[in-house]
Amino acid sequence: MKSMFGLETFIKINKCLFPVAGYGTRFLPATKAIPKEMLPILTKPLIQYGVEEAMSAGMTTMAMVTSKYKQAIKNHFEPHSDIEASIKDTAKESLLDEVNHASSVCNFTYIEQDKMLGLGHAIYTGKPLIGNEPFAVILPDDLCTSVSESVLKQMTKLYQQHPNCCIVAIEEVPMTEVDKYGVIDGELLEGSSNAYRVNSMVEKPSPENAPTNLAIIGRYILTPEIFDVLEKTPADKNGEIQITDALMILSKQGKVIAYKFDGERFDCGSVKGFVAATNAFAKKLL
Ligand code: UTP
C-alpha cells in the first residue's frame, strides 16, 4: 500500500488464529484422546507445521481456539524439563530445537470454544485474542508445502495490495469433490493469473450447482470487519456458523480476493490426505 507521501507502507500481520477445537471424528479412534492437530507427519505434529508457517510469514502471536479436550496442544508449546534433561548432551538434544524456538519467540494465547458450532463460530470465539487488526487463519489439518515462500507468506504479500480485503487461499479440485469445500466464483484481477475478485461463494455445493471447481482451503487473511459480519451470520441447516457465509457477505461488497497459491496442500483431516503427506515427507527425508 502507498502512504500519502507515495512511500510503500507495509501492514504487518502479527497474529495467526488456529481454530483447533473440532473433534476430528474422521480419525477416530486415534483422536479420542489425542487432538487431531497433534497427529504427526513423520515426527512433527500438524500444529507445529502450522505454527512454523505462520512464523515464516512474520507472525509472532499464535492464537489458539481450542477446547477442554485439547490440553496436549498447550503442553506441546511449553517446556518439558524432564525430557530435556534426559536428552541433554546426547545426539537427540537438537530434536526439540524447533519447537523450543517457536515457544521462545512467539506468544501463545488460548481461548476455549464451548460448543462445536462450526468454523465461523470458532473464528468468532477468537475475537478477544485478535482485537481490531487484520489476522491470518491456519487450519493445521491442511498441511501446505511450497518450494519457495510459504503459502501464508505469499498471501500476506498479496494482502499489502488489497488492505481492505480478506484473502482466501484456493485450489482447483476435481468437480466430483466440490461438495467438501467452500467454492468461489469470481473474475481474475487485471494483469493477474492467480488472484480473483470473488463475487460469490457457496459452501459445499453439489457438482451441478458449483459455480467453479475453485475450492477454499485452510488459509485465510481476514480483516477485523469479519467479526461484525460473523456476529450477524445465521447458522446453517446443521446449526453451524460457516465462515463461507460471512465471507459471502463481504464478497458482495468486493472485499474478498481468492488466491491460487504456489505449492501443494495435503488434506490431513482425511486418512487419504494424511497418508499422502506422510509418503511425500518420507520420500524427501528418508
Ligand atoms: P473440520 O470439520 O475439518 O474438523 O473443521 P473436525 O470437525 O475437527 O474434523 P471431522 O470432520 O470431525 O473429522 C475444520 C477446522 O475447523 C475447526 C477444526 O478443529 C478444524 O481445524 N473447527 C471446526 C473448530 O475449531 N470448531 C468447530 O466448531 C468446527
Residue 9 falls within a domain, yes or no? no
pLDDT at residue 10 in the model: 83
Give the residue, out of 119, 180, 242, with the most ligand 1 atoms within 8 A of its beta carbon, to mutate for a pocket test.
119
Q: Quote the radius of gyration of the chain (alpha carbons, Å).
A: 19
Q: Which domain holds residue 198?
A: 15-283
| CA dist., res. 253 & res. 226, Å (int) | 13
- Domain count of the chain? 1
How is residue 267 written as a grid cell? 488434506
How is residue 140 written as a grid cell? 493445521
Q: Could you identify the atom of ligand 1 that is nearest to the CA of residue 115?
A: 28
Residue 197 falls within a domain, yes or no? yes
Contact status, residue 33 vs residue 50, Cβ threshold 8 Å: no
On the 0-12 / 13-18 / 19+ scale of CB atoms within 10 A, 126 is: buried
Give the residue, out of 141, 142, 143, 217, with the most ligand 1 atoms within 8 A of its beta carbon, to mutate for a pocket test.
141
Residue 118 falls within a domain, yes or no? yes
Residue 2 falls within a domain, yes or no? no
120 within ligand 1 shell (Cβ under 6 A): no
pLDDT at residue 47 in the model: 98
Residue 1 falls within a domain, yes or no? no
201: Cα within 13 Å, side-chain hemisphere: 30
Q: Whole-model pTM? A: 0.95
36 within ligand 1 shell (Cβ under 6 A): yes
Q: What is the CATH number of the domain that holds 244?
A: 3.90.550.10
Residue 73 falls within a domain, yes or no? yes
Residue 62 falls within a domain, yes or no? yes
Q: Could you identify the atom of ligand 1 that is nearest to the CA of residue 66?
A: 25
- Residue-by-residue pLDDT tens, the chain, 286 positions: 666 666 667 889 999 999 999 999 999 999 999 999 999 999 999 999 999 999 999 999 999 999 999 999 999 999 999 999 999 999 999 999 999 999 999 999 999 999 999 999 999 999 999 999 999 999 999 999 999 899 999 999 999 999 999 999 999 999 999 999 999 999 999 999 999 999 999 999 999 999 999 999 999 999 999 999 999 999 999 999 999 999 999 999 999 999 999 999 999 999 999 999 999 999 988 7
Residue 139 falls within a domain, yes or no? yes
Distance 217 CA to ligand 1 centre (A): 13
